[in-house]
Amino acid sequence: MIIGVCGSPRRKATEHVLRAALDMLAKQGFETEFFTVRGKEIGFCRHCDYCLRNKTCAVDDDMHQLYPLLKDARGIIIATPVYNSGISAQTKAVMDRCRALVAADRNCFRYKVGMGIAVGGDRVGGQELAIQQILTFYILNGVIPVSGGAFGANLGATFWSKDTLEGVKEDEEGFRSLRKTIKKFTQSLEELETNRRK
């Protein structure tokens, strides 16, 4: 299963492109799940270290809906709106709260494949910085990070929304970067599966 995590508090551009990504995967036969922070209560990590002792998070909120999905997934897509040239605070809260999953099983994220999507209102508004944060989260937790490669999707899928849903729908270059990234993402998932069977 592939889990798509939307870090936008709105049903606008970021959710639209993440759903498009999951549709592409579903058409290729992948099982997908969509999770959004929109309308959810997901608090900050409090660094109470409860998870280190008890292997679960003490904060009783909607993050507990996402934990089993992240655990079961073979692939992870984190999609974030660009806020101040980085990821949204909601996306960061999700990442920090993943400490509880790693506390329960330090290999929890190992050999999963991950990609990032960043949607900014400006054409050059910090999309790559935001994706870099997503890829860094993957690297430090053992997720294999993929991008779409050179000539258009260097770090992953980057979109220019012009702050509107209509704007992102018109961003053909953004969708090209998404298709390239999805291609590399599925290739990596398939290669890992083949190696697992050997």
Q: Interface with ligand FMN by CB under 6 A: which residues? A: 8, 10, 12-15, 81-85, 119-122, 125-126, 161, 163
The amino acid at 94: V
Give me the residue whose beta carbon is nearest to ligand FMN. 125
Residue 80 bridge partners (DSSP) = 118
Residue of 176, 79, 73, 66 whose CA lies nearest to 118: 79
Closest approach of ligand FMN to the CB of residue 102, in Å? 28
Shorter beta-carbon distance to ligand FMN: residue 21 or 108: 21
Shorter beta-carbon distance to ligand FMN: residue 16 or 112: 16
Closest approach of ligand FMN to the CB of residue 181, in Å? 18
> How far is it, in rounded angstroms, from Cα 88 to Cα 78?
11
Cβ atoms of residues 69 and 3 within 8 Å: yes
Closest approach of ligand FMN to the CB of residue 105, in Å? 32
The residue count for the chain: 198
Closest approach of ligand FMN to the CB of residue 30, in Å? 23
Shorter beta-carbon distance to ligand FMN: residue 19 or 74: 19
Closest approach of ligand FMN to the CB of residue 55, in Å? 34
Shorter beta-carbon distance to ligand FMN: residue 10 or 110: 10
Shorter beta-carbon distance to ligand FMN: residue 42 or 59: 42
The amino acid at 128: E
Residue 148 bridge partners (DSSP) = none
Closest approach of ligand FMN to the CB of residue 35, in Å? 15
Q: Token pair for residue 172? A: 């053909």
Show Cβ contacts of residue 112 under 8 Å, excluding neighbours closer than 6 positions. Answer: 73, 74, 75, 76, 142, 143, 144
Q: What are phi and psi of 104, to 5 degrees?
A: -75, -35
